[in-house]
Amino acid sequence: MENRLKEIRQRHSYSQETLALKLKVSRQTIISIENGKYNPSLPLALKTAKIFRESVDNIFLLEEE
């Protein structure tokens, strides 16, 4: 799965630390998601979308087979 988290986070002027605190996860989790090394759980993806007022599928892009 690809994602646009870093782009959207920066557009909203959030640091990785700020976003991590809002989502109640570690900064390392944010880094891993942004680098494509970790796919967030559905609840985490939904919380992220709510914070940025974006749809989940606008942030997290499912790769077509």
Domain holding 26: CATH number? 1.10.260.40
Dump pLDDT digits (tens) for 12-59.
999 999 999 999 999 999 999 999 999 999 999 999 999 999 999 999
**Beta partners for residue 61, in sequence order:** 2
pLDDT at residue 65 tops 70: no
What's the chain's length in residues? 65
How far apart are alpha carbons 6 and 35 in whole angstroms? 9
If one counts the domains in the chain, the total is: 1
Torsion of CA 7, 13, 19, 21, to 10 degrees: 170
Range of the domain at 38: 2-61
pTM above 0.85, yes or no: yes
pLDDT at residue 64 tops 90: no
